Amino acid sequence: MSDIFESLESEVRSYCRGWNTVFDRASGSFLYSEDGHEYLDFFSGAGALNYGHNHPALLRPLLEYLLSGAVVHSLDMKTKAKRRFLETFHELILKPRDLNYKVMFPGPTGTNSVEAALKLARKATGRFHVLGFTNAFHGMTLGSLAVTGNSMKRQGAGIPLTHASSIPYDGFLAGETPDFLWLRSALADSGSGLEKPAAVIVETVQGEGGLRAARASWLRELSEICREHDILLIVDDVQAGCGRTGTFFSFENTGIVPDIVCLSKSISGFGLPLALTLFKPELDLWKPGEHNGTFRGNNPAFVTGAAALEHFWQDRKFEQEIAAVTAQLHEGLRLIANATEGATVRGRGLLAGIHYPDPTAAGKIAAESFSRGLLVETSGPEGEVLKTMPALTISTTELRHGLEILAEAAEAITGQKIVLRTVA
């Protein structure tokens, strides 16, 4: 049966193929299809819905704002909504963490933030080469693709992706060589052929590339190498940020302070498009309008973004709640993984999943989960990792319910009995 999505919408569509239903309403951790099925959401808009769907603390101020006749679109003009967002971000996020960053609003998507970061790093250093990591994902525009690992996505560029190279992420070489052996040696040797980079761009957890999580010590060493060689460190926190790994920024508690930070996905809190590029004040070398864009002043997103920070990030209580949910998720994943020889739990915080030795297993379990009312996706170059990303606001009961569906789906696919009894 063909429908308008298949007859009119491009073949490029992707998520709707695995989850072939028409969604209608959404609330908290649930989505509802027009034919009346309920789906528990372990996907959370790929990280754009950290506070769940239609959270009332964000919906109400948004509706009030829209109904009040306030300005919606304003490029980068000064608005009350933008002032409130900047003040709140400064007071609740930057100041308590002792982070001294300027805030730039690039276009409203993650890849816009990455492009701005790369451009600025090149401008500030006068160098053009950038280092990215194996299995990294930074977005689909040309600059971001050049530092992205996935060969199918890179192929889509249609032109050579240049001025970047890929070096091993934490765990890529399975601990067989000391961390950064090649990078240190190449930077030290003028005959290495490595163009001195402007920047290194890194995800602390590889959201799309297979959920490898970098160790804090590895990140610290990377940061030290960057400092020693006057290379800028960019952390792409588009997916791992906004509380996903347990703290607002994923690099808190690692001891590193990146020169540039990319945020998007959940920064509006409501699923509205918004992105920020943060950088140390001495890097603010832009000329007015040098990096421009029509949709940088998304006032509805400023309203929900400020409301999200005020509702969730006033104090440390939310971090404790995330920690409790994280413990429950990881325990459940461990029990599910234990049933399959060679399966391992990957990730950090509520960006976690299971790597299966059979690269087809995760995709089959995700499909089986959908038929049982759970949205869960895969990650990694072959889709070999089952990726769970519940809302940070999910309840214990909802999380248990989701883990039970996941366990049943995994049982159906692997044929191994799974008991989740120790999950609270």
Ligand X SMILES: *Cc1c(COP(=O)(O)O)cnc(C)c1O
* Binding of residue 110 to ligand X (CB under 6 A): yes
Joined tokens for residue 163: 């001025």
- Within 1-40, the residues that bind ligand X by CB under 6 A are none
The nearer residue to ligand X, 263 or 343, going by C-beta atoms, is: 263
Among 137, 169, 312, 318, the residue binding ligand X under the rule CB under 6 A is 137
* Binding of residue 139 to ligand X (CB under 6 A): yes
The nearer residue to ligand X, 93 or 147, going by C-beta atoms, is: 147
Joined tokens for residue 105: 């609003």
Number of chain residues interacting with ligand X (CB under 6 A) = 15
The nearer residue to ligand X, 110 or 246, going by C-beta atoms, is: 110
Q: Spell out, one character per residue from 198 to 237, where the chain touches ligand X: x when CB under 6 A holds, - when not.
A: -----x---xx---------------------------x-
> Which residues, in sequence order, are CB contacts of 47 under 8 Å at separation 6+?
207, 238, 239, 240, 242, 244, 265, 266, 351, 389
Angle at 328 between CA 267 and CA 387, to 5 degrees: 55
Q: Nearest approach, Cβ of 131 to ligand X (angstroms)?
A: 16
Q: Nearest approach, Cβ of 36 to ligand X (angstroms)?
A: 31
User: Nearest CA to 40 among 407, 372, 393, 410?
Assistant: 372
The nearer residue to ligand X, 50 or 264, going by C-beta atoms, is: 264
* Binding of residue 120 to ligand X (CB under 6 A): no
> What string of DSSP letters covers 192-252?
S-PPPEEEEEE-SB-TTTT--B--HHHHHHHHHHHHHTT-EEEEE-TTTTTTTTSSSSTTT
Q: Nearest approach, Cβ of 107 to ligand X (angstroms)?
A: 9
Among 122, 138, 346, 364, the residue binding ligand X under the rule CB under 6 A is 138
* Binding of residue 239 to ligand X (CB under 6 A): yes
Q: How far apart are the first and last CA of the chain?
A: 43
Any idea of the CA torsion for 414, 136, 9, 45, to the nearest 10 degrees? Answer: 70
Q: Spell out, one character per residue from 164 to 203, where the chain touches ligand X: x when CB under 6 A holds, - when not.
A: ---------------------------------------x
* Binding of residue 109 to ligand X (CB under 6 A): yes
Cα 207 from Cα 43, distance rounded (Å): 12
User: Nearest CA to 305 among 111, 35, 143, 93?
Assistant: 93
The nearer residue to ligand X, 272 or 335, going by C-beta atoms, is: 272
The Cα-based distances of 106 to 35, 71, 119, 397 in angstroms read 39, 19, 11, 39
* Binding of residue 114 to ligand X (CB under 6 A): yes
* Binding of residue 50 to ligand X (CB under 6 A): no
Joined tokens for residue 197: 């980079």
Tokens 């709707």: give the residue: 16
* Binding of residue 263 to ligand X (CB under 6 A): no
Q: How many helices (H) and strands (E) does the chain have?
A: 14, 15
Q: Which residues sit at the interface with ligand X, rule CB under 6 A?
A: 46, 109-111, 114, 137-139, 203, 207-208, 236, 238-239, 264
